[in-house]
Amino acid sequence: MTNSHEVPTPINVKYFSKGAIVLSFLTLIGLCGYIYRLIVGLDASTNLNNQFPWGIWIAIDVASGVALAAGGFTTALLADVFHKDKYHSLTRPALLTAMLGYTFVVVGLLADLGRYYNVWHPMIPSMWQGNSVLFEVGLCVMIYLNVLYCEFLPILIEKFMGHVNLPGILSRYNSLVESLLRISNRTLYRVLSLFIIAGVVLSCLHQSSLGTLMVIAPYKMHPLWYTPILPLLFLLSAISVGFPMVIFESILSAWSFKLKPETKTLASIAKYTPFLLFCYLSIKLGDLAIRNAFGYLTEINIQSVAFVLEIGIGVILPMVLLFQKSKRHSIKYLFISACCIIFGILVNRINVFLIAYTPPFSNDFYFPSLIEVIVTVGLISGLILIYRFMVIHLPVISVQRVKFNIVTDTPKSKATIKG
Amino acid sequence: MNKDRRKFLKMATATVAAATILPSVSEASLEHCEEDFDNAFGVLVDTTVCIGCRNCELACDRQNELTDHPKSYFMDNTVFDSRRRPSVESYTVVNSSFDSSSTDNKSFGKIQCMHCNHPACVSACIVGALTKCKHGVVSYDAWKCIGCRYCMVACPFQIPAYEYKEALKPRVMKCTFCYDLIHNDKKPACVESCPVEALTFGKRGDLIKHAHVKIEAAPNNYYDHVFGENEIGGTSWMYLANKDFINYDLPKLEEEKIPSLTESIQHGIFKSFLPPLALYGFLGLVMHSIRQDKKKEEENDEQS
Ligand code: SF4
Ligand code: SF4
C-alpha cells in the first residue's frame, strides 16, 4: 500500500528550456497566422474550395484533437470508476491534457468557422437541430469542456488553499477567499465522481458521433472508409489511443523534466492496449470483408497507400509489440508503440475527413496552405507550452519518482520535493 | 464473488435491459409524418430541348443580383469547353453534355440546387439555417449560419458554394428557387427566361405525370427514366434526357434518403436520452459497488 502514496507536486525546473523556446517561436508564428485568418478571411488564408469545404483544421485540429484527448476519460474510467488505484498518478496529467486538448479544439474550430462569432448559436434552444450530428458533437464537446474545467478545479484549489495572499488592499479578503476555497473544495470532492462519470458518458457520445459525421456523405466517401459503423470505429479507436497517449506524455515529460519514468505503471497500463487494438482491428477488417471492400486495396493510389499506412504502422505494428511482455517493460518500445498508435489515429482521422473525401465532380484538389499548416503547428506548440507551464506551477505530475541523480544512491527513500 | 457484487450485477443487467427496450418503444412517436411532395413546387428540365443559350444563367444573375457581368458575358460559348460548377457567382450553370464526339448533336443541361425532398444539407445543418418549406423550397438563413460548411459536405449534388472571399460575413450560396417570386404565384426567373420551354414549372406530382407522358409519346427520344423522381427520396427539380444523366453532372444515386442513416444512428443514441442515462447509471453503480468492496476489504484488514 505504502508505495502508492505519491503526491502530485509542481515540478521545479526552469520554464524556458531550449525546446520551449523553439515552441514559443512556433506558437508566435501560428498566432500571427491565426490573426491573419481572422482579418482576411478563409479564401486568402486557406486552400479550401467549394468541392473541398473541410481541410486540416477540421481533420487535425478538431477530429484528431478530440481523439487524442481521449486519455482523459479512459484513464478516469480505469482509475476512478474501476478504482484501479495504482493508476491514480496518471489521472491528473491525462486530465490536464484533455482539458487543454479540448480547449484548443475549440480554438482551432473557431479559425475554421466562417462566422466564428456565431459559435454560440447551437446553444440557443430555438436553433437546436436534433437531426444534425454536428449539433450533437458540438453540444457534447461544449458540455464536456465545462465538465473538464470542473474536474480540474480541485487542482487549482489545492494549489492556492492555505496560501491565499492577495496583494495590496485586497489582502483583507484573504481569510474570506480562503474559506470560500475550503467550502468549494469540500463540495467539489463530494460531487467529483458525478462529474467523472458524466465525462465518460459525454466522451463516448461525441467520440462516436464524430465518426457519424461523414456517414452523411455516402456518395463522396471512398469505400475503404465509408461504413455505417464509422461511429463504433471512432469510439473504439479513441479508447485505444487513450492509454498510449498517457504513456507518450508521461515518457516525454519524464524526459523533459529529467524524472525517472514510471516504467512499472506504464507497462501495466499498456497491457490493455493490444487487446483494444485487436478488437478495433478485427471489427475494422471484418467490416471491410462484409462490405467486400478489400478489392480497393489492390489498386495503387493515394487511398490504398494511406489505408495500409494507417493499419500497418498505426495498428498492427504496435499491437504486435505490446502483446509481448518484455517489450512492454522497455521504455523504448513503449514509447515507439505509443508513437505508432498516435500516428495511426492521426492518419485515420485525416483519411476519413480528407483522403476518403472524393466528391465526384471536382476540378480542384485540396492541399493545405502555408497558413493552415502554421496555425495547426502553432496550436499544438501552444498547447505543449501551456501544459509545461501548468505542470511546473500546479500539482499535476506525481513525483514519487525522484530525480535521476538521487535515485541511484537512495533508491528507497521518498523524495522530498518542494512545492 | 460476494453478495454485494452479485446484487450489483443484477441491478446492472436490469438497467442495461431497460435501456435497450425503452428506446424502441419511444421510436414509434418519432415517425415523421410524410409531407405532401406531390403538391410542392418543382421544375422539370428537358435536356433534349435545351439549346444552351444561357438565358437562364443571365436571368438568375439579375434576379439574385449576383454579379454585374455584362450581357455579353452570358453569350460567350467558349464556357462549354470546360465543365463548370455552381459557385458564389452563379447559382446555376449550363454545361454541354460529355460526348463531344459529334459536334452537331451537342445537348445541354443546367444544374442548380435540386431542392431535395429529404435534403441532406437541412439534416446536416447544426443550427437549422437551412430549412425545407412545404412548397418544396430549401432556403438558407444567413443570420443563423455559423459557417461550418457541413451542408456542403453533406450535399450529394455538390451544390452549395461558400463565400470564402468574405472575411466577416461569408454566406452559403445556392439556388433560392426564387422563393419570393413563387410565393407570389410567379415562375422562377430562369423558367420565365427560357426561350424554348426546356424548363417546366409546376406541382411536383403533375410534373412527374407530364414527364412520363413525354417519354411514352416519344420513347426513342428519351432515356426511360425521370431523374429526381425517386433518387434519394425524390427532388423538386427533375430531369429528362436521351442519355445517361451523368452526362449532365447528375450523379448516380440510390432511392435511399441520404439523412436516414445518420438520423437513425443519431436518434438511436440520443433521443429520449435513455442510452446515455443508462450508461451513466451503470457506471455509477460500478463505481459505487467497487468502492464499497474496497472499504470492506480495508475494514477486514484492520480487524485482522
Ligand atoms: S441539392 Fe444539395 S443543397 Fe440542394 S436541397 Fe439537395 S442537399 Fe440541399
Ligand atoms: S455552413 Fe451554415 S448553413 Fe451550412 S451547415 Fe453550417 S451552419 Fe448550416
Question: A195-211: per-residue pLDDT in tens?
Answer: 999 999 999 999 999 99
Centre of ligand 1 to C-alpha B14, Å, is: 44
**Could you list the residue range(s) of the whole structural domain that residue A375 is in?**
18-361+368-402
Task: Say yes or no: B10 and B80 in one domain.
Answer: no
Q: Are residues B194 and B285 in the same domain?
A: no
Is A209 domain-assigned? Answer: yes
Query: Is B17 in the same domain as B46?
Result: no
Q: Does residue B253 sit within a domain?
A: yes
This prediction's pTM? 0.89
Q: In chain A, which stretches have pLDDT less than 50?
A: 1-4, 401-419
On whether residue A415 sits in a domain, the answer given is no
Mutate which of B113, B123, B125, B131 to test ligand 1's pocket (most atoms within 8 Å of Cβ)? Answer: B113
Within a 10 A sphere around the Cβ of B164, how many other Cβ atoms?
Answer: 21
Answer yes or no: do B74 and B215 share one domain.
Answer: yes
For atom 6 of ligand 2, which residue has the closest CA?
B148
Whether B37 and B10 share a structural domain: no
Q: What's the CA gap between B123 and B145, in Å, rounded?
A: 14
Percent of chain B with pLDDT over 70: 85
Residue B85 shares a structural domain with residue B120: yes
Which pLDDT belongs to residue B26?
Answer: 38
Range from B152-166, B207-221, B290-304 carrying the lowest mean pLDDT: B290-304
Does residue B34 share a domain with residue B10? no
Let me know whether B92 and B47 are in one domain: yes
Whether B268 is covered by a domain: the verdict is no
Are B42 and B147 found together in one domain?
yes
Of A44, A113, A216, the CB nearest to B258: A216
pLDDT digits (tens, 9 = 90+) for B77-123: 888 888 899 999 999 999 988 665 555 567 899 999 999 999 999 99
Q: Is B191 in the pocket of ligand 2 (CB under 6 A)?
A: no
Number of domains in chain A: 1
The partner residues of B44 in beta bridges, in order of sequence, read B200, B238
pLDDT at A164: 77
The answer to the question of residue B300 being in a domain is: no
- Alpha carbon of B147 to ligand 2 centroid (Å): 5
Specify the pLDDT at position B105. Answer: 64
- Determine the pLDDT at residue B103: 54
- The answer to whether position B304 is within a domain reads no
Q: Rounded distance, CA B246 to CA A80, Å?
A: 56
What pLDDT score does B101 carry?
A: 56
CATH code, domain with B62: 3.30.70.20
B302 domain-assigned: no
What is the domain range of residue B100?
27-259
A75 inside domain: yes
List the one residue out of A369, A315, A274 whose CA is nearest residue A46.
A369
Q: Specify the higher pLDDT residue, B283 or A185.
A: B283
B162 plus B225 within the same structural domain: yes
The packing angle between helices A230-257 and A88-112, to 10°, is 110
Q: Is residue A417 part of a domain?
A: no
- pLDDT for res B22: 41
Contact A273, A244 (CB under 8 A): yes
Give the ipTM: 0.89
Closest-CA residue of chain B to A221: B153
* Whether residues B17 and B89 fall in one domain: no
| Domain membership flag for residue B9 | yes
**Number of separate domains in chain B:** 2
Q: Is the CB of residue B147 below 6 angstroms from any atom belonging to ligand 2?
A: yes
Q: Chain A window 35-54: which residues touch B at a Cβ cutoff of 8 Å?
A: 38-44, 46, 48-51, 53-54
* Residue B177 in domain: yes
Kindly tell me if the per-residue pLDDT of B10 is higher than 60: no
Residue minimizing CA distance to atom 2 of ligand 1: B155
Residues contacting residue A86 through CB under 8 Å, at least 6 positions apart: A4, A265, A268
Whether B297 is in a domain gets the answer: no
Please indicate, yes or no, whether residues B105 and B248 belong to a single structural domain of this protein.
yes
